[in-house]
Amino acid sequence: MLVVGLVAAVSVMVGLISLASLVFSGPLAPHATQGVGLILFGSFAICLVLALASSFHGAVSAPPGPTMVMLAIIGDSVAATGDQLFPTMVVLIFLSSMTTGVLLILIAKARLASLIRFIPYPVASGFVAGTGGIICLIALSLMGVRPDRAALATLLEPDALLSWGVGVAYGLGLYFATKRWNSFLLLPVSFVLATLLCHLCLALLGISEDQAEAAGLLFGGVSEGSLWPGFSVNDISRVDWGAVAGQMPNVLTLALVTMICAVMYIGGLELAANREMDWNRDLGAVGLASLVSGFGGGPPGCLIVPSSLRSVLFGVDIRLTGLVAAAFIGVTLLFGNAVLKLVPVPLMGGVLLFTGIAMVDQWLLQVRKRIPGTEYAIVLTIFFTILAFGFLEGVGVGMLITVIFFVVRLSRVDLVESQFTARDQSSNKSRPIPDRAILQAQGAGVQAYRLRGYLFFGSSYHFADRLKQSLSATPRPLCVLLDFEAVSGFDFSTVNALCRFLVAARAAQIPVLFSAAPDRLQSELQRNLPPPAYGNLTFAPDLEHGLEQGEDLAIAAHRPHLKGGPADATLLEAVADDLERHLDSQILFEELIVELQGWTQSSLYAAGEMLAVADEPDDGIKLLTSGRASLRDGDGARLHQYGPGDLIEPRGILGASGSGAKASADEPCRIETLTAEAQRLLEARDQRLALRLYRYLLNRPRQATPNPSSETG
**Domain limits for position 652:** 575-699
**In whole angstroms, what is the distance from residue 520 CA to residue 518 CA?**
5
- Phi first, then psi, for residue 434 (nearest 5°) are -60, -40
SS3 content of the chain, % helix, strand, coil (to 5): 65, 10, 25
Give the per-residue pLDDT at 713: 36
Where is the domain boundary, 531, 561, 591?
561
Instruction: State yes or no: pLDDT of 384 exceeds 80.
Output: yes
Q: Which residues contact 256 (CB under 8 A, 6 or more apart)?
A: 392, 395
Count CB neighbours of 556 within 10 A.
11
Instruction: State yes or no: pLDDT of 224 exceeds 70.
Output: no
Domain match, 518 and 549 both: yes
* 3-state secondary structure at position 218: strand
The answer to whether the CB of 70 falls within 8 A of the CB of 127 is: no
User: Predicted confidence band at 2 (pLDDT cuts at 50, 70, 90)?
Assistant: low
Is residue 141 assigned to a domain?
Answer: yes
| pLDDT, greater one: 8 or 644 | 644
Where is the domain boundary, 561, 589, 606?
561
In the chain, how long is the greatest CA-to-CA distance?
A: 125
Domain match, 587 and 492 both: no
Look up the pTM and report it: 0.57
Q: How far is CA 78 from the centre of its chain?
A: 38
Domain match, 18 and 113 both: yes
Residue 589: half-sphere exposure toward Cβ, Cα within 13 Å = 22
Nearest to 25 by CA among 109, 140, 127: 140
Domain match, 353 and 427 both: no
Digit-coded pLDDT (tens) for 517-556: 999 999 999 999 999 999 999 999 999 889 999 999 988 8
Instruction: State yes or no: pLDDT of 702 exceeds 80.
Output: no
**106-110, 265-269, 306-310, 662-666: lowest mean pLDDT where?**
306-310
Domain match, 388 and 276 both: yes
Looking up residue 627, the CATH number of its domain turns out to be 2.60.120.10
Is residue 459 assigned to a domain?
Answer: yes
Average pLDDT, integer, range 268-281: 77
Give the per-residue pLDDT at 52: 93
User: Predicted confidence band at 701 (pLDDT cuts at 50, 70, 90)?
Assistant: low
User: Predicted confidence band at 43 (pLDDT cuts at 50, 70, 90)?
Assistant: very high
Looking up residue 518, the CATH number of its domain turns out to be 3.30.750.24
Domain match, 396 and 432 both: no
Is residue 37 assigned to a domain?
Answer: yes
**In whole angstroms, what is the distance from residue 502 CA to residue 508 CA?**
10
The answer to whether the CB of 202 falls within 8 A of the CB of 12 is: no
Is residue 704 assigned to a domain?
Answer: no
Nearest to 364 by CA among 382, 386, 379, 354: 379
Is residue 569 assigned to a domain?
Answer: no
* Tally of structural domains, the chain: 3
Nearest to 575 by CA among 687, 431, 460, 691: 431
**In whole angstroms, what is the distance from residue 463 CA to residue 453 CA?**
13
Average pLDDT, integer, range 253-268: 85
**In whole angstroms, what is the distance from residue 671 CA to residue 603 CA?**
5
Domain match, 264 and 184 both: yes
Give me the percent of the chain exceeding a pLDDT of 70.
Answer: 84
Average pLDDT, integer, range 223-238: 74
Domain match, 211 and 63 both: yes
Angle, helices 32-53 vs 85-109, to 10°: value is: 10
Q: Out of 5-14, 373-382, 434-443, 501-510, give the one with best mean pLDDT.
A: 501-510
User: Predicted confidence band at 447 (pLDDT cuts at 50, 70, 90)?
Assistant: very high
**410-414, 594-598, 605-609, 675-679: lowest mean pLDDT where?**
410-414
Instruction: State yes or no: pLDDT of 570 exceeds 60.
Output: no
Domain match, 619 and 501 both: no
Secondary element (H or E) of residue 106? helix 85-109
User: Predicted confidence band at 405 (pLDDT cuts at 50, 70, 90)?
Assistant: confident
| pLDDT, greater one: 561 or 388 | 388
Instruction: State yes or no: pLDDT of 657 exceeds 70.
Output: no
**In whole angstroms, what is the distance from residue 274 CA to residue 336 CA?**
37
Is residue 567 assigned to a domain?
Answer: no
Is residue 165 assigned to a domain?
Answer: yes
Domain match, 39 and 70 both: yes
DSSP 618-681: P-SEEEEEES-EEEE-TTS-EEEEE-TT-B--HHHHHGGGGTT-EEEESS-EEEEEE-HHHHHH
**Mean pLDDT over all residues of the chain?**
82
Domain match, 227 and 108 both: yes
Digit-coded pLDDT (tens) for 459-495: 788 888 889 999 988 888 999 999 999 998 888 888 9
Identify the bridge partners of residue 662 per DSSP, sorted by sequence position: 613, 632
Give the per-residue pLDDT at 572: 52
Domain match, 437 and 395 both: no
Is residue 681 assigned to a domain?
Answer: yes
Digit-coded pLDDT (tens) for 338-383: 655 667 878 877 877 887 888 888 888 888 888 888 889 988 998 9
Average pLDDT, integer, range 4-21: 70
Where is the domain boundary, 532, 561, 590?
561
